[in-house]
A and B are shown apart, each in its own frame.
Chain A
Amino acid sequence: MINRLLLLGILIYAIVVLGMAALNGAVLALAIPLLVFLGAGLLYGPETPQFHITRSLSTDRAEPSAPVSVTLSITNEGNRIDLAHIVDNPPRQLEVVEGHTELLTALDPGETVELTYTLRGQRGRYDFDEVKIRVMDFLGLLRRDVSVPVPGQFEFFVYPEVRRVDRIPIRPRVTKAYAGHIPSRVSGSGVDFFGVRHYQQGDSLRHINWRANARHQGTFYSNEFEQERVADVGIILDARQRTYVQIGDQSLFEHAIAAAATLADSFLTDGNRVALLRYGDLLDWTVPGYGKFQRERILQALARAQMGDSLIFDRLEHLPTRLFPPKSQIVMVSPLASDDADLLPRLRARGYQVLIISPNPIAFEKALLERNELTAMAERIATVERELLFRKLRQAGIQVFDWHVDIPLNQALAASMAQLRPLLDRNIGIVTS
């Protein structure tokens, strides 16, 4: 598309050449209005503009689909500008739900204008770009395009959805020294009955086991309770693309991310030390930590998590088994592939307690596919394969929770907690501390 300024120049040139060739002053005179127009455009044409821009977000992290308000403040630090077309470019994946991201205005020296809009989006880490400004005179013949960097931020996180879950019954072989909610297999003050021992001076009368006393007259016995402490919990998020199902914009991976976030939040709320490992195209390791800061670190890691394919990490054989503290609890979130059954038992062999939360890819895909005879048969075969895989894992002492993602994890866990707890209890190893 030919530029307006250039078109005007060409027309003037053509008229002058025609006038001179025809030696006709009246033709030449016709170039004058165009020349005046061009002259006015050049005279009032914009100089290199100078702006100071600040951008503020109502929050730098948000829940999925939660509105986030963005305010862009633009100050003209140069000369007067006839027309400034200001365009902010929020990340494309975020949806503008209110307000405008562009503005046309006149700016006097020192004048400030504000552009406010509201965004929302799905899980992810987003970077804001430079602000693009086009300045021009009223006639619009000359214009200058500038990209103005915004100092300071900006990366913006939309965290995965975190749901509150009941306490997840984990039983690592070793716990830490601090009081928590995980049975430690050490006697002391607690709630759960642990054993009976001879009465010792100072024992509370409330703890005397009167039934045992009745059987063994002359000797007193006291009840012991199991101490509850915090533990090390390592969450492994399987991010191998081949294990997940994606149909259209529906992805099973998003459910796995939400599950990992919910688990991390639950374990951290209970005071445990939690680490996160994303195993996919690379290893993304969030070192163990406690509390709210660790929650932020893990949620940020999950916000930027993507699936990936890698020849090296295609199978779980490169899963680092020494990253997590010895004999701690590992919770893996993975739909699982058929060849994982041979490799996961290695974690058990190294003394870890392993719980696998497995989003069910068959049920997920079934809900999105058309029902016919072929899909029904495929579903049956895949279900049998999955059952066999689970059986192998359970035989190796690994607990597997088959999660149908159409039920939120908190509800699914709550419904299955009764079955999950005895399974975990049965797997307690003997620990001497």
Chain B
Amino acid sequence: MNHAIKRYGAISGAALALAAGYGLVGAFWAVAAALLVAASWVIGQQRNKRWVTSGSFTLLVLLSALSPLFGAAPGWPIAAVVFSLIGWNQGHFARLVASVERVDGKELIEQRYRRRLMATAALGAMLAGLTPLIQLNFGFGIALFLGVIAILGFGRAIAYLRRESV
């Protein structure tokens, strides 16, 4: 019960942060969309539908990524992404623990897991929060070069991840 509250709390937090970000700039269609996606996520989680939870997580992250383009303050989408990550990962962990017949040292494992998750989320939130304070001026050439590097690099990274995740 306690874990469920925490898990749904993270999803609610993500939805509310996103709704606040969009609401403050008057994009109420996005507020409705964020709440709808969060509701479907909670339902998917309750019914143990993995594709619904992963789909809802993806939609919330993409909605968050679009929010700065609509003028939302950067803090809200960052909070939404971090909460989404927490909710998504907790859902996965809870499913894993529930699916196994016997878990040895369950409390210790959960404690270590929470510590790792919170540390990662806090670090991510902190770095993301600091990023807007950093300003770098690029010329077009450097920007183009970095863009090409990013595309190639990410392409290779995804190929690596795909290989590792088999």
Query: Residue B87 at the A interface, CB < 8 A?
Result: no
Query: Residue A82 at the B interface, CB < 8 A?
Result: yes
Cβ contact within 8 Å between A142 and B165: yes
Q: A9-B161, A30-B64, A33-B125 are in contact. Are A139 and B117 (CB under 8 A)?
A: yes
Contact of B117 among A10, A34, A138 (CB under 8 A): A138
- Residues 76-110 of A contacting B (Cβ, < 8 Å): 82-83, 85, 100-106
Task: State in angstroms the CA–CA spacing of A13 and B153 once bound together.
Answer: 10
Query: Residue A113 at the B interface, CB < 8 A?
Result: yes
- Residues 116-130 of B contacting A (Cβ, < 8 Å): 116-117, 120-121, 123-125, 127-129
Cβ contact within 8 Å between A40 and B120: yes
Cβ contact within 8 Å between A30 and B78: yes
Choose the segment among B1-9, B23-31, B32-40, B107-115 that binds chain A (4+ C-beta atoms closer than 8 Å): B107-115
Task: State in angstroms the CA–CA spacing of A10 and B162 once bound together.
Answer: 11
Q: How many whole Å from B3's CB to the nearest CB in chain A? A: 15
Residues in A neighbouring B165, C-beta threshold 8 A: 3-6, 142-143
Cβ contact within 8 Å between A26 and B132: yes
- Write the A10-40 contact mask toward B (1 if CB under 8 angstroms, else 0): 1111111111101011111110111111001
- Write the A386-418 contact mask toward B (1 if CB under 8 angstroms, else 0): 000000000000000000000000000000000
Q: How many whole Å from A152's CB to the nearest CB in chain B? A: 24
Task: State in angstroms the CA–CA spacing of A82 and B108 once bound together.
Answer: 11
- Write the B38-67 contact mask toward A (1 if CB under 8 angstroms, else 0): 000000000000110010001001101110
Cβ contact within 8 Å between A26 and B68: yes
Cβ contact within 8 Å between A33 and B104: no
Task: State in angstroms the CA–CA spacing of A102 and B143 once bound together.
Answer: 52
Residues in B neighbouring A30, C-beta threshold 8 A: 61, 64-65, 68, 77-78, 81, 128
Cβ contact within 8 Å between B124 and A37: yes
Cβ contact within 8 Å between B127 and A140: no
Query: Residue A7 at the B interface, CB < 8 A?
Result: yes
Contact of B120 among A12, A18, A36 (CB under 8 A): A36
- Residues 215-270 of A contacting B (Cβ, < 8 Å): none
Query: Residue A199 at the B interface, CB < 8 A?
Result: no
Residues in A neighbouring B64, C-beta threshold 8 A: 30
Task: State in angstroms the CA–CA spacing of A1 and B166 once bound together.
Answer: 12
Task: State in angstroms the CA–CA spacing of A168 and B96 once bound together.
Answer: 60
Query: Residue A290 at the B interface, CB < 8 A?
Result: no
Task: State in angstroms the CA–CA spacing of A101 and B103 once bound together.
Answer: 12
Residues in A neighbouring B147, C-beta threshold 8 A: 20
Cβ contact within 8 Å between B100 and A103: yes
In the complex, residue of chain B having the shortest beta-carbon distance to the beta carbon of A136? B96
Chain B CB count within 10 A is highest, among A12, A16, A138, A142, for A138
- Write the B140-163 contact mask toward A (1 if CB under 8 angstroms, else 0): 000100010011001001100110
Task: State in angstroms the CA–CA spacing of A24 and B64 once bound together.
Answer: 13
Q: A11-B58, A100-B101 are in contact. Are A1 and B50 (CB under 8 A)?
A: yes
Chain A CB count within 10 A is highest, among B61, B74, B131, B135, for B61
Residues in A neighbouring B164, C-beta threshold 8 A: 5, 45, 142
Query: Residue A2 at the B interface, CB < 8 A?
Result: yes
Residues in A neighbouring B121, C-beta threshold 8 A: 33, 37
Cβ contact within 8 Å between B131 and A25: yes
Query: Residue A44 at the B interface, CB < 8 A?
Result: yes
Residues in B neighbouring A85, C-beta threshold 8 A: 96, 100
Residues in B neighbouring A5, C-beta threshold 8 A: 161, 164-165
Cβ contact within 8 Å between A24 and B81: no
Contact of A34 among B54, B81, B116, B131 (CB under 8 A): B81
In the complex, residue of chain A having the shortest beta-carbon distance to the beta carbon of B147? A20
Task: State in angstroms the CA–CA spacing of A269 and B155 once bound together.
Answer: 75
Cβ contact within 8 Å between A139 and B69: no
Residues in A neighbouring B105, C-beta threshold 8 A: 105-106
Q: How many whole Å from A346's CB to the nearest CB in chain B? A: 58
Cβ contact within 8 Å between B124 and A36: yes
In the complex, residue of chain A having the shortest beta-carbon distance to the beta carbon of B129? A29
Residues in B neighbouring A19, C-beta threshold 8 A: 65
Query: Residue B85 at the A interface, CB < 8 A?
Result: yes
Task: State in angstroms the CA–CA spacing of A83 and B101 once bound together.
Answer: 15
Residues in A neighbouring B97, C-beta threshold 8 A: 104
Q: A5-B161, A7-B58, A105-B103 are in contact. Are A139 and B150 (CB under 8 A)?
A: no
Task: State in angstroms the CA–CA spacing of A234 and B78 once bound together.
Answer: 83
Cβ contact within 8 Å between B85 and A33: yes
Task: State in angstroms the CA–CA spacing of A105 and B62 once bound together.
Answer: 35
In the complex, 6 of the A-B residue pairs with CB atoms within 8 angstroms, ordered by the A residue number, are A9-B154, A27-B65, A32-B124, A115-B102, A138-B116, A140-B93
Closest 6 CB pairs of A and B: A33-B124, A36-B124, A26-B68, A100-B101, A29-B131, A105-B104
